[in-house]
A and B are shown apart, each in its own frame.
Chain A
Amino acid sequence: MDFMVFQYPMISVQACLDGVLLGILFALIAYGMALQWGVMNIINIAQGDLVILGGYIAYFMYLYGIHPAWGVIVAPVVMYFVGIAIYKLVINKVVDRDLFISILATFGISILFMQLMNFAFGADVVLANSDYGTTMLFNNNVVLPNSKIFSAFISILFAICLVIYMKKSKLGRAIRATAQNARAAKILGVDTEKVYAATFGINAALCGVAGALISITFTIHPYMGLPYTIRSFMIVIVAGLGNLPGVAMSGMGLGVFEEFADYILGTEFRIGSVFLLLVLILVYRRFKLSRKREYLK
């Protein structure tokens, strides 16, 4: 245990800011997961692998001399079609089955994606340099890489666009109707098959944006997807489905929690602390539910 973070107030400020910026990015991935979980009742284990694939798109643009920031436009377009393809090939066969089958199917997709990316792009750790520089705050005591600020800004932008799209567009309304009651939506003329495909595509596109941002901010590697899946799962569990402000808040909360866990428990427990938090929240929820049930009795 190291309580240095509390001894130096500026480190606390740094940890909070880092956590919030990181959390916004996590929230974007989690929002995609919440969307398709709510609409299709599928927990997508391959979420993190879609993120990494999006990262590779930005990385290859960078390799060919295009600024990787353009990846936030190209990656979602490509990933949308990748998402549709995955839906047509696998997901539409498991969408009405129970949760276990869909978890198995997406787990399979995850392994396949890891191996394919490893085969196609190699096992090297790579990154895309944005050369965005650094912002210094509080007399140079707090440093924020501009790439992190850029990531958070783009994530917020995409989230806002998506919310407006879901509210105003015809497809958005159809997606929300299907999430509420798929059978009723079908009776009222919504083509749920098309809605499912579009939802999975939108989720993959969001993963694409997040991936491009991660390749600019951190590093990518074919086997690095799982921590992103776990984090988004965790955020969705805390926030609940279809609750965008909840997802944003719980994303940022998780980011800050991770940063403080890193300082206090040590970097080696960073991901472990997320797992621990997940278990605690699940236990707490069960406890709360059982009390509610007693009350109903």
Chain B
Amino acid sequence: MKLNKIILSFISALAILFSTSVVSLAKVVGDKIVLGAAISLTGKYSSNGVHTQNGYNMAVDRINSMGGVKVGGKTYKFDIIYYDDESNPKRAAQLAERLISQDGVEFMLGPYSSGLTKAIAPVTEKYGVPMVEANGASRSLFTKGYKYLFAVLAPANLYLDVAIDLAVEKNNGKGVTVAMAFEQDAFSQDVRLGVLDAIKRTGSKKVIDDKLPKELNDMAATLVKVKQMKPDVLVVSGHTKGALTAIRQISEMKVDVPMLAMTHCDAAKLSKQHGKNSQYALCASQWHKTLTYKDKFFKDGMTYDADFTKEFGYAPPYQAAESSAALLVFKDAFERANSFDQKKVRDALAATNMQTFYGNIKFAEGGQNVDKPMVLFQVMCDDAGKCENKVVAPTKWASAKLIHPIPSWSKR
């Protein structure tokens, strides 16, 4: 009898706990708009996961301290529930389910990486939960007809096609020869498709098309082929691992190539890890602090850079900047929708047309941002070995002139 009583009280205690937790975490509580996010705080994406979280937190604090979100004449503040997806797509999808069906979240922020966004998007779509994401650039995210997915960043196929255009421009409009080395993951393969389009469009020719495995840390074979074929451009995309391996082996093997273009240079801290060896590398970036876009919350890139560095102790990579921009988009959409109805907010998001410190934001039918071009920066070092990333393309934003062709190793 006594045991029964204990079990009964235990169950009722659990029930009370469960019901209060659901109530307290519902979408809009009192003056709080609760957003949900599954972020990679552990596992292989944890560095960029933390950048994403810091970007979100920075924007939440800034928006809340500058008056919050005004809906229906009332002021609300942002709050985010975070879960750690352990860099695992399956876990991310489970957590999205949990956020929506257990915690009652009605608006989501994206995770880090294309792979994890791909895992979460079907869940948010199923429940009709608007999701603004800032770190999933794979083209396949925007061709599935998702109605509730919005990405503030440019899609992956636009990362490096600018480099091919630039090389053709330097070659007096004539086609160039291109060597390509891309990792076999959703993102890099989309970057590859973009480069292939650019090669076709400009009448260029691909001479090497290597695929790099995920566990690779040696690309000597590709580089030997590059030495032999002497292409005009070498394009590499394999996240931070690809960027670091490429620079290390290019410098060790003294591979001379007129133009070297890659992704993830700032996430790989190229100039810090490789110093002068990384000089002249062209890097695709979603954002750079010297761009002159403006908004009233973060003012401009330089101010964002300074404020972020002050708060978190390191300079913001573009992953942090785009994450902050996602919150600005949500705020704008809530105010225009003037409601917390998911459909109305979704429609308001679809009609977004605004400028943030990170860039212009306007969504296409598929949810990708079509109003923000990618920038290319080049690593430039002074005689003392101090290296800096300077924007060289597009010309409108350029803060330095492109150094082309890259001087050969024997002359450095």
Binding site for B on A (CB under 8 A): 4, 8, 11, 14-15, 18, 22, 115, 118-119, 122-127, 129, 134, 136, 143, 145, 147, 218-224, 226-227, 259, 262-263, 266-272
- Residues of chain A within 8 A (CB-CB) of B219 are 267
**Structural contact, B245 and A219, CB atoms closer than 8 A:** yes
Given contact pairs A218-B217, A267-B212, A270-B216, enumerate 16 new A-B contacts (beta carbons under 8 Å): A4-B228, A119-B42, A124-B47, A124-B240, A125-B239, A129-B274, A143-B227, A143-B254, A218-B248, A219-B245, A220-B217, A221-B44, A267-B211, A267-B219, A268-B212, A270-B213
From known contacts A124-B47, A218-B245, A219-B244, infer whether A266 and B210 are also in contact, taking CB-CB under 8 Å. yes
The 3 A-B pairs of least Cβ separation, nearest first, read A145-B252, A268-B211, A262-B221
Least Cβ–Cβ distance between B86 and chain A, in angstroms: 9
Interfacial chain B residues near A147, Cβ < 8 Å? 252
| Complex Cα–Cα for A143 and B184 (A) | 27
Chain A positions within 8 Å of B254 at CB level: 134, 136, 143
Q: Bin the interface of chain B by size.
A: 35 or more
21 residue pairs of the A-B complex, CB under 8 angstroms, read A4-B225, A8-B228, A11-B228, A15-B224, A18-B220, A119-B42, A123-B45, A123-B46, A124-B47, A124-B240, A126-B273, A143-B227, A218-B217, A221-B217, A221-B241, A222-B44, A224-B217, A267-B212, A267-B216, A268-B184, A271-B215
B16 interfacial contact with A, CB 8 Å: no
Distance in angstroms from A214 CB to nearest chain B CB is 8
Q: How far, in Å, is B247 (CB) from chain A's closest CB?
A: 10
Contact between chains at B210 and A267 (CB < 8 Å): yes
The answer on a CB contact under 8 Å between B213 and A271 is yes
Known: A123-B43, A221-B241. A227 touches B253 (CB 8 A): no
**Contact assessment for A127 and B273 in the assembled complex, using a CB-CB cutoff below 8 Å:** yes
Say yes or no: is B291 at the interface (Cβ < 8 Å to chain A). no
A118 neighbours in B (Cβ, 8 Å)? 42-44, 46
- Docked Cα-Cα span, A296 to B42, in Å, equals 56
Contacting pair B248 A143 (CB below 8 A)? no
> How far, in whole Å, are A145 and B211 apart by their CA atoms in the complex?
23
Name the distance in Å between A192's Cβ and chain B's nearest Cβ: 37
- Check A143–B253 contact: CB distance below 8 A: yes
B31 within 8 A of A: no
CA distance A278 to B225 in the complex (A): 28
Q: Is B338 an interface residue (CB 8 A)?
A: no
Cβ-defined contact, A219 with B241, below 8 A: yes
Are B46's CB and A122's CB within 8 A?
Answer: yes
Residue of A nearest to B183 (CB): A268
Measured between beta carbons, the chain B residues less than 8 angstroms from A22 are: 218
Cross-chain contact B222 with A145 (CB below 8 angstroms): no
Q: Given A145-B252, A268-B184, verify A263-B221 contact (CB < 8 Å).
A: yes
Q: Judge if B406 is at the interface, Cβ distance under 8 Å.
A: no
Partner of B215, one of A8, A224, A259, A262: A224
Question: For chain B residues 251-310, which have a beta carbon within 8 Å of chain A?
Answer: 252-254, 268-269, 273-275
Give the complex CA separation of A88 and B256 in angstroms: 52
Which residues of chain A have C-beta atoms less than 8 A from B87's C-beta?
Answer: 123
Give the residue of A14, A227, A272 whose beta carbon is less than 8 angstroms from that of B224.
A14
Chain B residues with CB below 8 A from A266, complex form: 210-211
Smallest Cβ distance from A63 to chain B, in angstroms? 10
Distance, CA A218 to CA B249, complexed state (A): 9
A127 touches B244 (CB 8 A): yes
Q: Which of A18, A123, A143, A268 has the most CB of B within 10 A?
A: A123
Q: Which residues of B contact A269 (CB under 8 A)?
A: 213
Write out the residue numbers on chain B whose beta carbons fall within 8 Å of the beta carbon of A4: 225, 228
Residue numbers in B under 8 Å from A218 (CB-CB): 217-218, 245, 248
**Chain B residues closer than 8 Å to A271, beta-carbon distance:** 213, 215-216
Q: Which residue of B lies closest to A219 (CB)?
A: B217
Distance in Å from the Cβ of A105 to the closest Cβ of chain B? 23
A258 nearest CB across to chain B (Å): 9
Q: Which residue of A lies closest to B241 (CB)?
A: A125
CA distance A134 to B216 in the complex (A): 22
B253 touches A145 (CB 8 A): yes
Minimum CB–CB distance from B55 to chain A (whole Å) comes to 17
Given A15-B221, A147-B252, A223-B44, do A125 and B215 touch, yes or no (CB 8 Å)? no
Report B49 CB to chain A, min CB distance, Å. 8
Closest A residue, CB atoms, query B45: A123
Query: How many Å lie between the Cα of A134 and that of B277 in the bound state?
Result: 13
Q: How far is the CA of A129 from the CA of B270 in the complex (A)?
A: 12
Question: Chain B contacts of A18 at CB under 8 A?
Answer: 220
Whole-angstrom distance between the Cβ of A165 and the nearest chain B Cβ: 31
Q: How far is the CA of A221 from the CA of B254 in the complex (A)?
A: 25
Is the pair B44, A123 in contact by a Cβ cutoff of 8 Å? yes
Chain B minimum-CB-distance residue to A222:
B44
Look across to chain B and name the residue whose beta carbon is closest to the beta carbon of A141: B227
Rounded to whole angstroms, the CA-CA distance of A145 and B87 in the bound complex is 34
| B47/A123 in contact, CB under 8 A | yes
Q: Which residues of A contact B245 (CB under 8 A)?
A: 218-219
Name the CB-closest residue of B to A132.
Answer: B252
Contacting residues, chain A, for B47 (C-beta < 8 A): 122-124
B contact residues around A123 at 8 Å (CB): 43-47, 87
A134 & B252 in contact (Cβ 8 Å cutoff) = yes
Q: In chain B, what residue has the closest Cβ to A214?
A: B217
Q: Roughly how many angstroms separate A41 CA and B68 CA in the complex, as a whole number?
A: 65
- By a CB distance below 8 angstroms, the chain A residues around B181 are 267
Task: Check if A134 sits within 8 Å of B253, measured CB to CB.
Answer: yes
Interface flags, B225-252, vs A, CB<8A=1, else 0: 1011000000000011100110011001
Bound-complex Cα distance A147 to B252 (A):
9
Q: In the complex, how many angstroms separate the beta carbon of A37 from the nearest chain B beta carbon?
A: 23
* Least CB separation from B252: chain A residue: A145
Min distance, Cβ B340 to any Cβ of chain A, angstroms: 36
Query: CB-CB < 8 A to A223: which residues of B?
Result: 44
Q: How far, in angstroms, from A127 to B240 measured CA to CA in the complex?
A: 12
B73 to chain A, nearest CB (A): 45
Bound form: Cα–Cα A127–B87 in Å: 22
